[in-house]
Amino acid sequence: MNRLLTVRQVAERLGTWETSGERFPRRLVAERRITFVKVGRHVRIPEAALTEYIAERTVQPATRARRLRRAA
């Protein structure tokens, strides 16, 4: 079963807890930018959804050839 994370756990995993608390994950939910589950009045985010969110936004380093083409 896919583990459900609290908004605070998501903030801690994203590294935003110290700067903005729960504000960033709650904005992701409000803007429907991440999959979430409503359990009564509580919001939970599936661990797989967080992993997918991070993977979709991971930027790979540019290769040398790509950097040279942009400079030209």
Q: Specify the pTM.
A: 0.79
Helix boundaries (H) for the chain: 7-14, 17-20, 23-30, 47-56, 64-71
Looking at every residue in the chain, the average pLDDT score rounds to: 90
Mean pLDDT of 43-72: 84
Task: Please give the pLDDT value at position 2.
Answer: 87
Structure tokens at 19: 């700067």
Task: Please give the pLDDT value at position 14.
Answer: 94
Residue 22 — very low, low, confident or very high, per pLDDT cuts 50/70/90? very high
Distance CA(11)–CA(18), nearest Å, equals: 9
Task: Please give the pLDDT value at position 64.
Answer: 74
Percent of the chain predicted with pLDDT > 90: 72
Amino acid letter, 28: L
